[in-house]
Chains A and B, each alone.
Chain A
């Protein structure tokens, strides 16, 4: 990851449009002329390619490009925002002028905008779309289709998808930021349907990260996803009705960390806490979880799906301790909310694209390993549920209530994993559930890189993770009473 790779996003985004440094200074000066606290220009280009196989055929593939600029003027709690899908000087003038119409008063300082600063980079910059040939992508899809079908005659349908994106951003703002980032992202997924005695069940698996597509061709990486999807579908063919009501629940390592994302992550985002509308508001320094829980948000793990060398406001990616030994340590911040709360950004200011405004968002959020042997955790449960795969979750930050939906789960009877159970939603109250974490495993895993987090209509890639853990009581939404 040399400097020559780093220098490109600005040139790539601006040179073709004849936007010079002096033009940027001039635009920023004008945006600040009606005395806003901070002005910001966000230039972005985004290229995506995806290939899909179903019914044994590579039927469908698409390529998309978007490119544009978002201008934001901030005055206290107020934001003016405008964007354009066109990076030309005259469009930029109109866009900045629209954005600044929000502010009629403010401090109006323009900091000295520095030249590009070096920030540590947590991923490479090369284009994943061209990292392997089209022939190889098509061949891989077909190979994985045949492989999945070969694993078991009960496999009836196989869908395989490869997606790769290459994103470049350049941020120029009145508080001294002039910096760019190049972000690769790939995702591979396999979905199968298995049939037995007329019953059909689905299994899914996938992964990826901020790297290129060669990873899929290393060892049996791609085959492993197919094995996992087939295994899950076959398990579900034997699933019985899930129990209904409050139960002890053991959550497996990795992707079940979606629990933390919903139960505490969103509630610790700075915007809700500045406004006092989170179930975790005004609780810094308090015990909000069992002493076994230490939870971090970490943008700095190399090549992870949620990692960021810098966020969408130019703040370097960092590791933030949210909860340490059960005590609430800090929130995740963007610039606007941290300034209003008298603190600084934690590098969590993210946006879906130039056409969306940044807000505090998670990166990779996970619980650190504890000391229990995962086997011992299961053994400690007389009757409960062991959930190892989830579809997704949702939270109401204000009440603290959250759900997440299991796609692979088992009963635990007399300390042993027994029958698989049908998909069920689990529901709880974040602050309450975290105090009921009674055992934490020594087997921390991060998810394999499939998460998309949605907030106010904006989707961003994130990572989650956790060791095996036991929650003493959570409501299981089955049908068997």
Chain B
């Protein structure tokens, strides 16, 4: 049996398989290496940015402890809390905005709908930071650039335009047959109940996707946070904090802590993903003939 099986794969095929796997192995090493390196660095005992070895000479948890206890120069716990609050609020708001816009555009017919979608598409072509300075002045005029109001400013910046990212969710809603909505309307649903009782449960994958992207975007954003916080160390988000650790006055003392911080900030994302992926279930099958 076994000889027959082996013979079935021709030598050329084996060579191709070998080359393909070699390529994949190389790529995976290239991708995983930086992650391994940053995790290793975060446990490194010796200080400083530059070492002559890939593997640390000694291992320690001090970097993590220092990150959360040493508040003399950089208050990492505060930054972490700031970012978490902002991200969670933005996540809820953005998800709501994105899904409502997508649902309205997918299900309702109104004048200006097509035009609106085209405008949204064109606006989406421009990077957000083009309007950075304008946004700063607008928020300044609203008094949201000083003190703890910066957080509100950041929440507004992150969630206000999120509705423009409706395309993917709309594409998903479009695949839910209209007749299910109509059946629900006849069964006695209001439009809102159709959305919450029918469309939402059927759209779990896309809701999860939206929640994740809505959380991650503010969580890792640097540029808007930098513009709005400027030197307000109280309001720093983790992205700014980590960047500051690499400034030349701190880098020797904080370099390994920077690595620890980088590992720490990936944890909420990982938790969110592990929690949410349970809901990636089969979507539409069984609803209609198909």
Partners in one complex: no
- Residue ranges of A at the interface with B (Cβ–Cβ < 8 Å): none
- Residue ranges of B at the interface with A (Cβ–Cβ < 8 Å): none
